[in-house]
With several copies, the nearest count.
Chain A
Amino acid sequence: MLEIKDIHKSFGKNEILKGVDLTIDKGDVVVILGPSGSGKTTLLRCINFLEKADSGKAAFGELQVDLHSASKKDIHAIRQKTAFVFQSYNLFNNKTALENVTEGLITGRKVPKTEANEIGKKALDKVGLSDKYDSYPSQLSGGQQQRVGIARAVALNPDIILFDEPTSALDPELVGEVLTVMKNIANEGTTMLVVTHEMSFAKDVAKRVIFMDGGVVVEEGTPHEIFVSPKEERTKKFLKRVLPEDYTFYI
Chain B
Amino acid sequence: MSDGLNYKFLVDTFFVALSGVPITLFVTAVALLVALPLGFLLALTRINQIPILNTFSQVYVSFVRGTPIIIQIFIVYASVPLILTAITEKYNWNIKIYDINPIWYAFIVFSFSTTAILIEVFRSALSTVSKGQLEAAQAVGLTNFQAYRRIVIPQALVVALPNICTATVNLIKATSLGYAMSLQEITLKAKVAANVGYNYVEAYLDIFLVYIILCSLVEYGFKLYEKRLRKYQYVSS
Contact = CB atoms under 8 A, between A and B. Distances in A.
Q: Do A and B bind each other?
A: yes
Interface of A: 48-50, 76, 79-80, 82-84, 86, 88, 90-96, 103-104, 107-109, 135-139, 152, 156
B235 A139 contact: yes
Contact of A109 (B141, B151, B158, B235): B141
A93 B135 contact: no
Interface of B: 130, 132-133, 135-143, 146, 150-151, 154-155, 158, 231-237
Given A138-B234, A139-B235, A48 B139 contact: yes
Given A92-B151, A93-B233, A94-B154, A103 B133 contact: no
Contact of A103 (B150, B155, B231, B236): B150
Nearest to A149: B136
A136 B229 CA distance: 13
A136 B233 contact: yes
Contacts of B232: 93-96, 136-138
6 contacts: A92-B136, A94-B151, A103-B137, A104-B140, A107-B142, A139-B237
A113 to B, nearest CB: 14
Contacts of B146: 107-108
B85 to A, nearest CB: 48
Contacts of A136: 231-234
B233 A90 contact: no
A88 B139 contact: no
Nearest to B236: A139
A138 B141 contact: no
B138 A79 contact: yes
A76 B136 contact: no
Residue from A49, A95, A104 with most neighbouring chain B CB atoms (10 Å):
A104
